[in-house]
Amino acid sequence: MQGNKFAPITGTVMPRYSGLATLMRLPYLGLADPALAEVDIGLIGVPWDGGTTNRPGARHGPRQVRDISTMVRNVNRASGINPFELCNCADLGDTPVNPVDLIDSLDRICAFYTKVCKVGIAPLSVGGDHLVTLPIMRALAKDKPVGMVHFDAHTDTWDRYFGNNPYTHGTPFRRAIEEGLLDPKRTVQIGIRGALYNDSENDWGEQQGIRVIDIDEFHAMGLPAVIAEARRVVGDGPTYVSFDVDALDPVYAPGTGTPEIGGLTTLEAQHLIRGLRGLNLVGGDLVEVSPPFDPSGNTALVGATLLFEILCVLAESVRHRERC
């Protein structure tokens, strides 16, 4: 780490409830800041839920996750990783969005991430609904498709909504595969469950080569075997991590747009993310935190904590590439 200007503000110097809220109490840098050239990982909010088809509110996710991320400290007790010693991290603020124009929002979000990726910063984002991953991938994977470890209750590989709309939070990975941004044969989806509109709803993704581990198979395989399978699928190529909080059982994350019972526990989620250690990770996101559906703020706490888990494994990966 180059000095300590990118270190989080410690709670022993300034109380956690004080100061301006930034993700994990990191310094805020705008895209025009000269110090941007020193940043390895940029934490970014995407306050937009224009792809939501039922319960809205994820547009407010980044703000609440920022606020409650003051609870995050520096060292992961389980892994021993201190991501802030491995990499220079900063809060790059929120992407511009247009709350009344879906296509314009996708373009604005993509343009923001294009600038971030152009200077070599690995993005770690907070949504927003799951459609925000599509414009992120348009920037991150425009030259080479990425693999993905995807935690979710839903595959998000639908084609259309209401007959003719190709862009919703249920379609991002179908569009990403069609656009050559996501390699389906290096994609694994974990935690899939819930009733379907029809019995062929998930066929398309599996036909493309996506490895789907639904919640029943997850429990039948066991945690170590699932981790091993995920690592096998993505291999050593560039890999993105996308975590929809509805992968968790709603007892842990009620504040989300499409809750499904019978999901992962928070501890299982932590172990799964830690199991990605050593992969070639290039970015990630945590999406679908909807504060209006959880006045307690617990879903945002879960989101901030899992974001830290992703940051830890991402920081090791970024650091490893810098040394090679």
Q: In the chain, which residue ranges form alpha helices assigned H by DSSP?
A: 61-68, 83-86, 102-118, 133-140, 172-178, 203-208, 215-221, 223-234, 266-274, 298-323
- 152 marked among binding-site residues: yes
State how far the Cα of 97 lies from the Cα of 50, in Å rounded to an integer: 10
Place of tokens 């991953």: 133
And the tokens for 136?
A: 């992120």
Bridge partners, 149 (sequence order) = 188, 241
- 236 marked among binding-site residues: no
- 246 marked among binding-site residues: yes
State how far the Cα of 291 lies from the Cα of 310, in Å rounded to an integer: 21
- 49 marked among binding-site residues: no
State how far the Cα of 156 lies from the Cα of 170, in Å rounded to an integer: 4
- 219 marked among binding-site residues: no
Bridge partners, 127 (sequence order) = 46
Cβ density class 8-45: b for 16+ within 10 Å, e for less: bbeeeeeeeeeeebbbbbbbebeeeeeebebbbbbbbb
Q: Is 194 left (phi over 0), alpha (psi -120 to 50) or beta?
A: left
Show Cβ contacts of residue 297 under 8 Å, excluding neighbours closer than 6 positions.
Answer: 64, 68, 291
- 244 marked among binding-site residues: yes
**What are the binding residues?**
130, 152, 154, 156, 244, 246
The annotated binding site for Mn(2+) is made up of 130, 152, 154, 156, 244, 246
